[in-house]
Structure formats: structure tokens, C-alpha cells
């Protein structure tokens, strides 16, 4: 969406940050800490397991948090690479 409407990039970034905070706080209150997976554990597991098997083992919010993280990283990359500043 930010490629079609570049001025919305700031609003989308704020929305992703808020959604990420909500997702993280919900994950922290819903599950004990030992059930979560760190980023390093996910990378190690990904090499030895197919992605479908990994997603089935993850708590549901972890997949959402990863999607938010990826979207925010993509937004930042496109904003940095874009020479036109609004």
C-alpha cells in the first residue's frame, strides 16, 4: 500500500508498531515464558524442520508477530531505498 500511496508510510509504521505492542503483550500474558521461541531458536529449527511443521508448533501469536516484524522491516527497507522523500 505504501508503494501506491507513499505519504501513508508513516501511518502504516505507527499502525504496525501498535499492533506489534498489542501482539507482544498478549503473548506475554497468555503463555509462560518457556513456551515462547526466541529468534535464534526459530532460525535453528527452520534449518532442520519444514515450515509447516514449525508453524504448527508455534503459539499462534508468534506467527503474527513474525508477520508484523517482516512487514515493518519491508516498510523500512523500501523507505530507505526510496530516494523521493515526502
The answer to whether 58 touches 49, Cβ cutoff 8 Å, is no
CA–CA separation, 46 vs 30, rounded Å? 24
How many angstroms separate the CA atoms of 66 and 46, rounded?
Answer: 13
Model confidence band, residue 67 (pLDDT cutoffs 50, 70, 90): confident
Instruction: Give per-residue pLDDT as tens, 41-58.
Output: 656 655 655 656 655 665
Which of residues 7 and 1 earns the better pLDDT score? Answer: 7
Model confidence, pTM: 0.52
Determine what percent of the chain is predicted with pLDDT higher than 70.
48
Interatomic CA distance for residues 38 and 5, integer angstroms: 34
Amino acid at each position: 500500500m505504501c508503494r501506491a500511496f507513499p505519504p501513508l508510510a508513516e501511518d502504516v509504521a505507527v499502525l504496525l508498531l501498535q499492533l506489534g505492542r498489542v501482539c507482544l503483550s498478549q503473548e506475554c500474558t497468555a503463555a509462560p515464558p518457556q513456551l515462547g521461541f526466541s529468534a535464534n531458536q526459530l532460525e535453528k529449527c527452520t534449518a532442520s524442520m519444514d515450515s509447516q511443521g514449525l508453524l504448527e508448533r508455534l503459539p499462534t501469536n508468534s506467527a503474527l508477530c513474525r508477520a508484523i516484524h517482516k512487514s515493518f522491516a519491508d516498510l523500512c527497507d523500501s523507505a530507505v531505498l526510496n530516494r523521493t522523500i515526502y
